[in-house]
Structure 1
């Protein structure tokens, strides 16, 4: 399943499961937050959060000489990580289509632990809380409705661009960075 093109290819959960059963299976890099990774991850995967990938792509690429499958919750962050790593010329990049959600739906095993909610769930909680507060506050202060409108506009933009500023901000909170790997530790794991 190797590729000579440096752009990441997309694989479904069944393809990745079959490939991982092979002796020359790929390395799986999970680009979710450390908290999400601690909650549930594919056995044998390495946690390399997206911000670490984008900031240190060249150093990471120097340590990777085999096929890599990038994983996140749904595939969006893994795709961004793939684009960042492919910009270094790194070949053999693959993205798990549908991410951990698709993996679990296809019957794939997950290592479960104590972690935080998925980032998407955190975004729904914060956005919903702000919208609800804005609507309730607008019964007393009519201008407060614009807070809810701003969140709605932000969520629409997030859907259209497949990025989420609120999610990126939430990923930097301490409870999402708990167990955050240091670059040197990630590089040592990749070398080993």
Structure 2
């Protein structure tokens, strides 16, 4: 009886963990989009300058700042370069979050920017969504966790099974 309750508890735990997946992916996508818009806004003036003088190429603008005789421009080259790289990173992340659900899940879990994922995790509020994708994730995770633990326990128990006991079952 205790074993049945443990199985149910394990299944419920898997279900609760699984329903968090779509919410976390959505929170990550929203975080990336907000940061991307913020980065674009921060680069707006530099993009206008690059459009006017360098055919819109921000890399040429940064290189111009680096090679300038003016120490102020040289100093600002690093700051602008960091802004440009950040905007490109956020654009790549945003593009990844426009793909199908399975690609989004894989990206967030394994290929997403660790710092962004950490920011989202620190502000994430656990919730039980009753959306179809959350229910599917929940049931899938619950079944996978239950199957994995059950298989592991059976595999660990296998060497300790009595051959004598096993033999009796065959002949009855």
- TM tier relative to shorter chain: under 0.3
TM-score normalised by structure 1 residue count: 0.23
Q: Which has the higher contact order (CA 8 A, sep 6+)?
A: 2
The structure in which a higher percent of residues are strand is 1
